[in-house]
Amino acid sequence: MMRLIDLPASLRRANDRSDSGCSLSRVFGSGLAALAVALLLGAAAPSASAQTFAERILSLDVSDIGVEKDLVRDAAVRVNNNDTAGAIDLLKMAREKNPAIAPAHVLLARILAAVGRGAQMRAPLEQVVKENPSDPEPYLLFAQIAYRAGRITDAELLFEKTTALAKPFKDSAKRKRRFLIQGYNGLAQIAERRTNWPAAEKHLREMITVDPDTGLSHQRLGIALFRQDKTTDAYKSLKDARAADASLPAAEVVMSKLYSQKDDDKSAQEWIKKALKENPNDTSTRLAVVQRLLETGQADRAKTQADAAYEADKTSVNAKVLRGIASRMTKNYENAEAWLVAAHRQAPTNFAATNHLVHVLLAQADKTKRELALQYAIVNARVYPFQANRPTAQGIESTVTLGWVYYQMNRNREAQQLLANVINRLGNSPDGSYFVSRILVDSGKKEQAAQFLEQALKTKQLFVEREAAEKLLAKIKGG
């Protein structure tokens, strides 16, 4: 089932997918990710949105944007009119007015990405390599594209080239800082993906030297240190992470998760206790503790902590959802329904609230509630659809849930059609694996069901139906 409180991505199995697309948010990151304005047609007087477009294009390079934004705006109009040569002339003029901004062909590549023509970026970036060989940006962009396309070794070499060029770079302090941060981050991601923790530590420390105030970097460093059994240093880094960013989980919660992944349940439980002791009045920590208790099957203890979190903050949707899950795990379905309905009413688009509510309603004998479960499941599957080319955890989960509802209502053909789409995507859905296994057993495919169950039972994440899965596997193996 879906996590309610996001622990670090580094704590979870990497789920990188190949993505050769060149949308602005994927290629340039947060600096241009917020850009949602459409390019104005024609060359009319500048509007606020056109000015914003130009400012966003330039904001990666300079903080104080001057008249060069007018040239960039006009260049974007020319790009839209397929006048690339005219656009380049204007962008070169902008660069002459302010040498701190990127070379003209880099700006052109950004504009192309911004207007949905990212596939055309390569030619102008290659031109930058030819005309401005000491500029790191083409290498950074090529590295990011290669990484998202799954060409990891190519990306590593390109990130290394980026940081090598960035160190002596003098054209713009802001650009230099961005190149170093994103270059080291890329190298750290590759090292994490390869579980090369000494290399990850090295690159994360380099990144923190340039950007010491980003909590997530300290958190990732803490995880890399823990993986090398440097637990004291790991804990310190995780505390630094929380100090820099209060939205991150408490250090003790992360330590508990890390020990759990090492199958050291005793230490994991000790860190849970320490989390509550060190952060007694912190609702987010208490909720994270509830999450950990649920993940380790301690539903009764989770109820107590969820109740305390709710009393501390009765507006917390997460407190209500977690309390509902705890009741679901103890099969107190009416109580679970009350909590999840309250959460759903407060936050109708909360995926976890709706998804768990479906299962709670389906588990009850009341025909009206079961019909309502179907309606909720259909809505959730429409809001969070499964897309084969870009599968998301929520899309997979919503599809499995709807398929299971159909199966429980004897609509077997519809169930099988849905589940056929996701049956090979259940690696991060232990409950989904259990539901599919139930169907496989009923179909006489016990050996395949056992494989799904064995894999699901290895998970350290929340698994509501863990006990039922254990019993089913034992029954299969017992003949």
User: φ and ψ at 180, to 5 degrees?
Assistant: -65, -45
Separation CA 155–CA 214 (nearest Å): 23
pLDDT number for residue 28: 43
Average pLDDT value for the chain: 87
With H, G, I as helix, E, B as strand and everything else as coil, classify residue 14.
coil
Report which DSSP code applies to 263. T
pLDDT number for residue 329: 96
Let me know if 244 is exposed, middle or buried by CB neighbors in 10 A (0-12, 13-18, 19+).
middle
Q: Which of 49, 157, 172, 167 is nearest to 107 (CA)?
A: 172
Answer yes or no: is pLDDT of 135 > 80: yes
Answer yes or no: is pLDDT of 191 > 80: yes
With H, G, I as helix, E, B as strand and everything else as coil, classify residue 403.
helix
Answer yes or no: is pLDDT of 14 > 60: no
Final residue of a structural domain among 81, 100, 133: 133
Percent residues over pLDDT 90 in the chain: 65
Separation CA 436–CA 458 (nearest Å): 16
CATH code (residue 310)? 1.25.40
- Residue 300, domain extent: 288-347
Ramachandran region of residue 211, left (φ > 0), alpha (ψ -120 to 50) or beta?
A: beta
Q: Give pLDDT tens digits for 51-105.
A: 588 888 888 888 878 878 889 888 888 988 889 899 899 999 999 998 988 899 9
Separation CA 220–CA 474 (nearest Å): 39
Separation CA 58–CA 66 (nearest Å): 10
Largest CA distance in the chain: 80
pLDDT number for residue 59: 85
pLDDT number for residue 11: 53
Q: Which of 164, 163, 166, 143 is nearest to 154 (CA)?
A: 143
Number of domains in the chain: 2
Q: Give pLDDT tens digits for 99-121.
A: 988 899 999 998 888 888 878 88
Cα dist from 474 to 46, 124, 222, 297, 444, whole Å: 70, 61, 39, 19, 16
Cα dist from 160 to 126, 176, 339, 350, whole Å: 18, 14, 51, 41
Q: Which residues contact 259 (CB under 8 A, 6 or more apart)?
A: 265, 267, 268, 271
Band of pLDDT at residue 30, cut at 50, 70 and 90: very low
Answer yes or no: is pLDDT of 194 > 80: yes
Interval 255-272 mean pLDDT? 91
In a domain, 183, yes or no: no
Interval 182-200 mean pLDDT? 97
Place of tokens 């979870």: 12
pLDDT number for residue 21: 38
In a domain, 42, yes or no: yes
Answer yes or no: is pLDDT of 50 > 80: no
pLDDT number for residue 186: 96
Band of pLDDT at residue 479, cut at 50, 70 and 90: low
Report which DSSP code applies to 12. S
Q: Which of 382, 365, 317 is nearest to 343 (CA)?
A: 317
Ramachandran region of residue 297, left (φ > 0), alpha (ψ -120 to 50) or beta?
A: left
Separation CA 132–CA 396 (nearest Å): 46
Interval 170-197 mean pLDDT? 95
Final residue of a structural domain among 302, 318, 347: 347
Interval 426-436 mean pLDDT? 92
pLDDT number for residue 411: 93
In a domain, 328, yes or no: yes
Top pLDDT among 354 and 113 is at: 354
pLDDT number for residue 22: 43
Band of pLDDT at residue 40, cut at 50, 70 and 90: very low
Final residue of a structural domain among 133, 153, 168: 133
Ramachandran region of residue 116, left (φ > 0), alpha (ψ -120 to 50) or beta?
A: left
Cα-Cα-Cα-Cα dihedral sign, residues 335, 467, 456, 258? positive
In a domain, 262, yes or no: no
pLDDT number for residue 90: 93
* H and E: helices and strands count for the chain: 26, 0
In a domain, 302, yes or no: yes
In a domain, 91, yes or no: yes
C-beta separation of 220 from 238 below 8 A: no
Answer yes or no: is pLDDT of 36 > 50: no
In a domain, 236, yes or no: no
pTM, two decimals, is 0.76
Cα dist from 53 to 30, 109, 178, whole Å: 15, 14, 20
Band of pLDDT at residue 159, cut at 50, 70 and 90: very high
Q: How many CB atoms lie within 10 A of CB 17?
A: 11
Place of tokens 């966003």: 56
Separation CA 373–CA 370 (nearest Å): 5
pLDDT number for residue 317: 95
pLDDT number for residue 19: 37
DSSP labels, 343-377: HHHH-TT-HHHHHHHHHHHHTSS-HHHHHHHHHHH
Answer yes or no: is pLDDT of 46 > 60: no
In a domain, 188, yes or no: no
Question: Taking the chain, what is the end-to-end CA distance rounded to the nearest angstrom?
Answer: 29
